[in-house]
A and B are shown apart, each in its own frame.
Chain A
């Protein structure tokens, strides 16, 4: 019984301790000129959908949930965002080559059509990030019409 108490205490100390380890926050004040929405002059509905459903993990500006204040949740999110941005970062869209842009647009469409994005592990908490059928077809139509040289 005594050892049980001690191990609980150790766990508690570790848990409190990790709260003090800082994490990188993925936030920036201004929207860069290379941003996908700006470069492609997206209409308002498209802009809102992208910002609500994609930008938390695929841009340099995340709108963090409250539980990001607690470790180890913050680490999980940090990893997640890092991976998401490596795959596709809308904030740096215009730095991509035309070849890469085309390929990304294609992937965006197929990921949305196949309901692979936004991730279900994300939408389970962010209910408003779920894409309705109408939003899906709006996005797909709009992307299909983007003129990629």
Chain B
């Protein structure tokens, strides 16, 4: 009996040790992962169909809709966080965007607008969730997709704010990327302090 227990104990210890090693391995990988991600420059990070992005336009939607204000404010907070190269401010904007989206009243939308809104919302939420939990390079990557969503949202529902649609030809692997801004002055969220002035205004809404 003693012998059997002895054997079991040895077996148990060896399994426990190997499990622990696996875990440590995973942790090590996780850390390495983060470091790699932080070291990465923005080059080669984004990849998309640039022509489509650069052609995306807000067909003049003259609806002075105040309902979209909270979503836009949160988006601008994310944008300004990236302009300031601050992962934390950007993440907090992401949280506020999730709140704004959850409070948005869809009941006033027409059936068709509702369907499109749902798709935009689903995608924007996903980007916001990543923005909340990622490092800044990854935040910028998702900001690009988010900008497309918010642009489409403004085109769909309108806004009562003055919004500038800006464009940086270098972002997104030199394919160009859009963003929306509440201020006229160009402050580039894709590069932050590295190239703050890169970009131009494509359109002004309101």
Contacts and interface: CB of A to CB of B under 8 A. Distances in A.
Contacts of B9: 8, 12
B58 interface: no
Interface stretch (A20-28, A50-58, A118-126): A118-126
Contacts of B15: 15, 70
B123 A11 contact: no
Contacts of B119: 97-100
Interface string A94-109: 0001111011001101
A116 B48 CA distance: 18
B6 to A, nearest CB: 10
28 contacts: A8-B12, A11-B12, A70-B15, A73-B22, A97-B122, A97-B123, A99-B120, A99-B122, A99-B123, A100-B119, A100-B122, A100-B123, A100-B126, A103-B145, A106-B46, A110-B45, A110-B46, A110-B141, A114-B36, A114-B44, A114-B45, A115-B36, A116-B33, A116-B37, A119-B33, A121-B26, A124-B29, A140-B47
B91 to A, nearest CB: 18
B47 A110 contact: yes
B1 interface: no
B47 A109 contact: yes
Interface residue range, chain A: 20 to 34
Contacts of A140: 47
B53 to A, nearest CB: 10
A119 B127 CA distance: 21
A114 B48 CA distance: 15
Interface residues of B, number: 32
A9 B1 CA distance: 13
Contacts, number: 67
Given A70-B15, A120-B33, 19 more contacts: A8-B9, A8-B12, A12-B8, A12-B12, A73-B19, A73-B22, A97-B119, A100-B119, A102-B49, A103-B123, A103-B145, A106-B47, A106-B48, A110-B141, A113-B45, A114-B40, A120-B29, A121-B25, A140-B47
Interface string A1-43: 0000000110110010000000000000000000000000000
Interface in A80-106: 97-100, 102-103, 106
B85 interface: no
Instruction: Indicate the member of B37, B120, B122 with the most A CB atoms within 10 Å.
Output: B122
B30 interface: yes
Contact of A124 (B25, B36, B40): B25
B12 A15 contact: yes
A81 to B, nearest CB: 15
